[in-house]
Structure 1
Amino acid sequence: MPERILIVEDEDKIADVLRDYLASSGYETHRLARGDEVEGWMRHHGADLVLLDVMLPGKSGLDVCKALRLFSGAAIVMVTARVEEIDRLLGLELGADDYICKPFSPREVVARVKAVLRRGRLNQAAGPGERPPLPGGLALDEAGWCATIGGRDLGLTAVEFQLLRVLAAQPGRIYSRDQLMDAMYRDERIVADRTVDSHVKKLRRKIADVLPAQELIHSVYGVGYKLE
């Protein structure tokens, strides 16, 4: 059976384009135009992924996301024209798997949908208590504070290992700089935002020395970083 995508979008033209592109990629689609219709529909029908606009009549996308996470394991991708960082982070902290900013390319949406669903399948295949394989053949030895790719030690500092460990805990999840700083510096010291950027730059360089043809750590403009 094809995977089912629920499109929650009140703008007809955008919804029609998304439906056409997703259907042509083999997905079954359904569209709702109001936020207050989503919970009842999902309880009755269910979906593999919800493309959820933030600004909706009836109920906001953020409130819908929060409600869905109380009973549904469906992947959620937020779609927003509101670019303020707080809206993006709030959506992710409520349980969204990814977000896309308007205006967007329909092909980008299809690619992001495929990536999120693929992560979900990997997590299911791994089984309870098991981790899915990390991108690029990356392996972490938490007892020895050592990260390797293809058996080659990356030579990370303690802070760099902590940073990579957090990103690798949930591949594909977007972490804000604040979240990464909290994980890297547990002694509550005052650290500038750009300190994280500096550590990411060094970490990318060490990964590139071993894996030059593939970028594992991706920047998400205005939010932070993810491993994918």
Structure 2
Amino acid sequence: MKQKNILVVDDEQKILEVIASFLESQNYQVFQAENGAKAFEIFEKENISLIILDLMLPDLSGEEICKKIRRTSRVPIIMLTAKVEESDVLEGLEIGADDYITKPFSLKELIARVKAVLRRTSEEPVPLFNKNSYNGGDLILDFGKDLVLKDQKPVNLTPTEFNILTTLIKFPGKVFTREELIEFALGSGFEGFDRAVDSHIKNLRQKIEDNPRSPKYVLTIHGKGYKFGGE
């Protein structure tokens, strides 16, 4: 198994050394940074698999670092902090953290969290079956053949429409913002405006919904984005 690279960011040298020593004993490659600037320097050079990020740093806050990283990367982030208020935890998760550990913590808890987050995020989600059927066969998506059937008839989707649909299906229950759909479904080469996603969604609904004005597959979650609703 390929060794995972973990970046630990904390301004307390003792904590850095203890975490690094323990993770290395668990066969991880560890990089250490005592501030935000050093963290970004390492992140840009190395292929980092996970970041353990303290919120209280001398130059940039952990929240600022998390937000900046999330603009370009889905690398898992575990926030490490002495803040224990629920509002602080929720804020960290809302800006893109994958998990949250409060100080003091045990190394046993830390490694359990690290393994759990890496397990969840190690691979791009894939459907349980190559051929997925929804609503009693009303909509069928065959990933092996890149084929979509509506009422047993092939649907001619554009590549963009197909990518949006498959992305929604691969992340069941997740609500995607327009920006996330651009990142996950359309890719970094997309040069349109985020509102262009709405047009693709509208066209997709015209092709796979019985009533595009009252969709059952591509659902709008008002104020947030879109999610898949097939059963």
TM-score, length of structure 1 as denominator length: 0.55
Which residue in 1 is equivalent to 2:67?
66
Which ranges of structure 2 fall in alignment gaps of 5 or more residues? 137-171, 175-220, 222-231
Pair 1:169 & 2:173 matched: yes
Distance 1:66 1:131, change over 3 A: farther
Mapping for residues 99-178 of structure 1, pairs under 5 Å:
99-121=100-122, 123-124=123-124, 126-127=125-126, 130=127, 143=135, 169=173
Deviation at 1:20, TM superposition (A): 1.1
| Greater RCO, 1 or 2 (C-alpha within 8 Å, sep 6+) | 1
Q: Deviations over 1:62-114 (max 9, x none)?
A: 10000011112211000010112222111111111001010000111011000
Maintained 8 Å contact 1:79/1:99? yes
Name the CA distance, whole Å, in 2 between partners of 1:52 and 1:69: 13
Percent identity, please.
Answer: 42
Q: What is the identity, as a one-letter code, of the residue corresponding to 1:90?
A: E
Mapping for residues 22-33 of structure 1, pairs under 5 Å:
22-33=23-34
Deviation at 1:9, TM superposition (A): 0.8
Which ranges of structure 1 fall in alignment gaps of 5 or more residues? 133-140, 145-167, 171-185, 187-228
Name the CA distance, whole Å, in 2 between partners of 1:36 and 1:77: 18
Mapping for residues 1-16 of structure 1, pairs under 5 Å:
1-16=2-17
Q: Deviations over 1:127-147 (max 9, x none)?
A: 3xx369xxxxxxxx9859xxx
Aligned pair count?
138
Q: Provide the aligned C-alpha RMSD in A.
A: 2.5
The 4+ residue runs of structure 1 with deviation greater than 4 A are 141-144
Larger Rg: 2
Maintained 8 Å contact 2:31/2:42? no
Name the CA distance, whole Å, in 2 between partners of 1:54 and 1:46: 22
Which residue in 2 is equivalent to 1:36?
37
Q: Deviations over 1:14-38 (max 9, x none)?
A: 1111111110111000100002322
TM-score, length of structure 2 as denominator length: 0.54
Name the CA distance, whole Å, in 2 between partners of 1:143 and 1:18: 49
Distance 1:91 1:25, change over 3 A: same
Q: Deviations over 1:176-224 (max 9, x none)?
A: xxxxxxxxxx9xxxxxxxxxxxxxxxxxxxxxxxxxxxxxxxxxxxxxx
Maintained 8 Å contact 1:21/1:107? no
Q: Secondary structure at the match of 2:83?
A: coil
